[in-house]
Amino acid sequence: MDRNDLRSALLRLASNHLWTYEYRTAALFDALPTATVDQHPFTAVRSLTDDQVASLAADDAFVGAVADRLAHLDGVMASAVTSPDVVYYSPEFGITDVVPQYSGGLGILAGDHLKSVSDLEIGLGAVGLFYRHGFFRQYLDGGRQAERIETYQADDFGFTDTGIVVEVPVADRVVDAKVWKMEVGRVPLLLLDTDLPQNSEHDRAITDQLYGGDQLHRLEQELVLGVGGARAVAAMGWTPGVHHSNEGHAGFLAIELLDRARAGDAATLDDAIEAIRPHVLFTTHTPVPAGIDRFAHAMIAPHLQPWADSWGDPIADVLALGPDPDDAKTFNMAALCLKVAARANGVSKLHGEVSRDLFGDVPGGSDISSVTNGVHARTWVSPTLQDLFDARLGTDWALGNAGAWERIDDVESDAIVTARATDKAPLIELLAERSGATLDPDALVIGFARRFATYKRANLLLRHPDVLAALLADDERPIHILFAGKAHPADKPGKQLIEQVVAYGASAEANGRFSFIPDYDIGVARALYFGCDVWLNNPVRPREASGTSGEKAALNGGLNCSILDGWWAEMSDGRNGWDIPTSDATDDDVRDTEESASALSLLGDIAAEFHADGSGRPSEAWVDRMRHNWRTLGPKVTAARMVSDYDNELYQPMLRAL
Ligand SMILES: *Cc1c(COP(=O)(O)O)cnc(C)c1O
């Protein structure tokens, strides 16, 4: 390979985000002299000098590895998705920490969905927005969350410019949105961007920040995502049978589909709804009414007026497309999706039940089914364990193959314990770097990392300070509890939780064993999943629709200690982790105090089991429990299982019915 060929091979490898879950490719980028931790490899390759490329080109092993990875990518792309049967719409996609276009679970799930769709060669494409400022970065200022806004260029991420610009009606004006394409393995992800010179300053800023701005800003973003997204799909020449809305934020895609139906055979709005219904699938992600997008009629009416005019329908009929169960003067995006969708689902069995209750009075609400969330194994399992599993279980473990996971019983304890110790090292380093704390390599490490939304109760353990302090003071059975997570900048109570956790960590009682790691993102999350022994999850049941962080911990051998909510409610078997009993107190305060006591008492038992052999390494009983965790959960928690469920239970039946 000559210099130019090597550079273009590396650019090609960097521009397809398969590298985000193939650590052998990622390792090539890490070896570049221009590599930095927070930069996309595409930028790192582009900034190589000719001399640097020349010296890489002289390294036969490096060139051989690049050629090998490129041949692999070409093989994958031989079956790239070019005309998808299904298009998946989402306001956020968490593919890698260096493309920070996600805020939390919803985006991570969307990223994992695409990666597994690519692995399983399902004919799916995707649509989202490109946010110039992504989501905020977090740092601590005097023990409180402070926010920093960065600026990103699509060119730096290796996205391709499709040359397509779509027009989106926004109230009385038309906004242009440019369409980028991000490759995620075989899957094309279209990202719309309104930051174009022909748009007004206001409109250029529509796609500026994920979940930034006020309600009007949110409404404008959602028009671009839904209406603009469906138009981008058409402009690509895609003719999908199914449009899948990941949460209600993209619900306006229905407006665009209704518009096409009205321009065609549909004589009335009701006819148009029936015409588009077989094509719409809706996944709801929250049982918390505050988590659902709702727009006051006074705000949304001017935005829906152009359609009402062109269809010749009264605006009241168009507003009635999103009937809010509680407020007749509010447009509800989830209700819109339910009203027009042939099929709708929640994201765990329990969440399906809760959603049928919550939306019982909304058309379509009583038929909500469920597909339980899963996680993309090769993104979330440490390279150390991937090597061990590939060698001992066969590579199908990553696709959730139950037979492969059974072979975990043959893997000897030493191999498991050594791999886990190896994976703890980067966490020890990260913690020291970001918080100055020291993690004892023999300590039982308990992790809690997720958005700091109040229902997740990051401060639950602090309700019994004496009990907690005694656990943290135990030198015979050392433990260390690690926290990470961002609160939405407008969420004052969420920010107070962070302040409380940070302050306790700095107190004498915490004994240096209770730490907060700032700037939670995919990178921090991976370090935590790789290094934690126990994953703590204590939301208010049943508000955690699924939760996925515990699934990622489980795949790395971290054992769950959790309230019976979301995915855990259906997968706990009494031995693959621990259930925190749910209090039946009707008073919230009493409930929290009781559940806190239960969690602390369990953590005491857990520390005793971990340290039972007194050898400074996890006990044999513990390692057995890890094997049981892998054997029982490995087949269930992967996104491969989830995406197969979507394909078998929703996509294929919907496509067959067309
Ligand atoms: C998995 C993950 C989440 C979701 O965690 P939950 O337990 O579902 O709240 C959020 N953020 C990041 C970075 C993650 O990796």
**Residue range 245-295, pLDDT digits in tens:** 999 999 999 999 999 999 999 999 999 999 999 999 999 999 887 789 999
Structure tokens at 577: 């982790």
**Adjacent-strand bridge partners of 346:** 370
Give 582's DSSP letter: P
Ligand 1 neighbourhood includes 20 CB (under 6 angstroms): no
Res. 142: pLDDT tops 90 = yes
Tell me the one-letter amino acid at 548.
Answer: T
CATH number at residue 124: 3.40.50.2000
Q: How far is the CA of 282 from the centre of ligand 1 (A)?
A: 21
Query: Rg of the chain over CA atoms, in angstroms?
Result: 25
Q: How far is the CA of 303 from the centre of ligand 1 (A)?
A: 34
pTM of the predicted protein model: 0.98
C-alpha–C-alpha distance, residues 294 and 315, integer Å: 17
Nearest-CA residue for atom 11 of ligand 1: 104
**Dihedral of the CA atoms 461, 464, 467, 469 (nearest 10)?**
70
Q: Is residue 648 part of a domain?
A: yes
Ligand 1 neighbourhood includes 57 CB (under 6 angstroms): no
Q: Select from 486, 480, 495, 476 the least CA-distant residue to 447.
A: 480
CB 161 within 8 A of CB 191: no
Ligand 1 neighbourhood includes 84 CB (under 6 angstroms): no
Ligand 1 neighbourhood includes 522 CB (under 6 angstroms): yes
Q: Enumerate residues 6+ apart whose C-beta is below 8 A from 466.
A: none
CB 189 within 8 A of CB 99: no
Q: Is the domain of 110 the same as that of 246?
A: yes
Q: Is residue 200 part of a domain?
A: no
Identify the H or E element spanning 387: helix 383-393
Ligand 1 neighbourhood includes 526 CB (under 6 angstroms): no
Q: Is residue 193 part of a domain?
A: no
For 133-188, give the DSSP string. T-S-EEEEETTEEEEE-----GGGGT-EEEEEEEEEEETTEEEEEEEEEEEETTEE
Res. 230: pLDDT tops 80 = yes
- Rounded (5°) CA angle 284-449-291: 25
Alpha helices by DSSP H, listed for 518-658, are 522-531, 549-555, 566-571, 588-610, 620-633, 639-645, 652-656
Q: Is the domain of 651 the same as that of 521?
A: no
pLDDT of residue 476: 96
Confidence grade of residue 169 (pLDDT, cut at 50, 70, 90):
very high
CB 279 within 8 A of CB 655: no
Confidence grade of residue 2 (pLDDT, cut at 50, 70, 90):
confident
Res. 624: pLDDT tops 90 = yes
Mean pLDDT for 306-334 is 95
Q: Is the domain of 418 the same as that of 291?
A: no
Distances (CA, A) of 387 to 15, 18, 118, 353: 25, 18, 21, 39
At 468-494, the pLDDT tens digits run: 999 999 999 999 999 999 999 999 999
Q: Is residue 207 part of a domain?
A: no
Residue at token pair 């590298």: 19
Mean pLDDT for 501-514 is 98
Counting the structural domains of the chain, the total is 3
Q: Is the domain of 334 the same as that of 465?
A: no
Q: Is the domain of 386 the same as that of 359?
A: no
pLDDT of residue 3: 86
Ligand 1 neighbourhood includes 104 CB (under 6 angstroms): yes
Q: Is the domain of 458 the same as that of 594?
A: yes
Q: Is the domain of 474 the same as that of 512?
A: yes
Q: Select from 470, 653, 469, 637 the least CA-distant residue to 555.
A: 637
Q: How far is the CA of 3 from the centre of ligand 1 (A)?
A: 41
Q: Select from 313, 308, 314, 360 the least CA-distant residue to 334.
A: 360
Q: Is the domain of 48 the same as that of 108?
A: no
Ligand 1 neighbourhood includes 545 CB (under 6 angstroms): no
Ligand 1 neighbourhood includes 525 CB (under 6 angstroms): yes
C-alpha–C-alpha distance, residues 646 and 639, integer Å: 10
C-alpha–C-alpha distance, residues 560 and 563, integer Å: 9
Nearest-CA residue for atom 8 of ligand 1: 547
C-alpha–C-alpha distance, residues 459 and 464, integer Å: 10
At 525-564, the pLDDT tens digits run: 999 999 999 999 999 999 999 999 999 999 999 999 999 9
In this prediction, what percent of the chain has a pLDDT beyond 70? 100
Q: Is residue 164 part of a domain?
A: no
Res. 505: pLDDT tops 80 = yes
For 343-374, give the DSSP string. EEEESSHHHHHHHHHHTTTSTTGGG-EE----
At 4-30, the pLDDT tens digits run: 899 999 999 999 999 999 999 999 999
Q: How far is the CA of 614 from the centre of ligand 1 (A)?
A: 33
Confidence grade of residue 325 (pLDDT, cut at 50, 70, 90):
confident
Q: How far is the CA of 287 from the centre of ligand 1 (A)?
A: 17
Nearest-CA residue for atom 1 of ligand 1: 549
CB atoms within 10 A of CB 443: 21
pLDDT of residue 621: 98
Q: Is the domain of 49 the same as that of 116?
A: no
pLDDT of residue 616: 86
Q: How far is the CA of 322 from the centre of ligand 1 (A)?
A: 29
Q: Is the domain of 363 the same as that of 384?
A: no
CB 524 within 8 A of CB 517: yes
Ligand 1 neighbourhood includes 531 CB (under 6 angstroms): no
Q: How far is the CA of 33 from the centre of ligand 1 (A)?
A: 32
Q: Is the domain of 652 the same as that of 616?
A: no
At 119-141, the pLDDT tens digits run: 999 999 999 999 999 999 999 99
Res. 146: pLDDT tops 80 = yes
Q: Is residue 266 part of a domain?
A: yes
Can you tell me which atom of ligand 1 is nearest the CA of 524? 13
pLDDT of residue 361: 87
Ligand 1 neighbourhood includes 182 CB (under 6 angstroms): no
Q: Is residue 166 part of a domain?
A: no
Average pLDDT of the chain is 97
In 157-298, the DSSP E strands lie at 160-170, 173-184, 187-193, 242-246, 280-283, 294-296
Q: Select from 578, 551, 582, 595 the least CA-distant residue to 444.
A: 578
Q: Is residue 150 part of a domain?
A: no
CB 525 within 8 A of CB 96: no
Res. 212: pLDDT tops 90 = no
User: In testing the pocket of ligand 1, which one of 538, 548, 567 has its CB within 8 Å of the most ligand atoms?
Assistant: 548
Q: Is the domain of 370 the same as that of 396?
A: no
Confidence grade of residue 455 (pLDDT, cut at 50, 70, 90):
very high
Q: What are phi and psi of 631, to 5 degrees?
A: -65, -40
Q: Select from 556, 514, 550 the least CA-distant residue to 531.
A: 556
Is there a cis peptide before residue 493, judged by omega within 30 degrees of 0? no
pLDDT of residue 291: 81
Mean pLDDT for 489-518 is 97
Can you tell me which atom of ligand 1 is nearest the CA of 552? 1
Mean pLDDT for 496-515 is 98
Ligand 1 neighbourhood includes 374 CB (under 6 angstroms): no
Domain hosting 65: range is 3-77
Q: How far is the CA of 96 from the centre of ligand 1 (A)?
A: 13
Q: How far is the CA of 385 from the centre of ligand 1 (A)?
A: 20
pLDDT of residue 552: 98
Ligand 1 neighbourhood includes 107 CB (under 6 angstroms): no
Q: Enumerate residues 6+ apart whose C-beta is below 8 A from 375.
A: 108, 112, 548, 551, 552, 555, 637, 638, 639
Give buried/exposed letters for 105-133 (b at 16+ CB in 10 A, else e).
bbbbbbbbbbbbbbbeebbbbbbbbbbbb
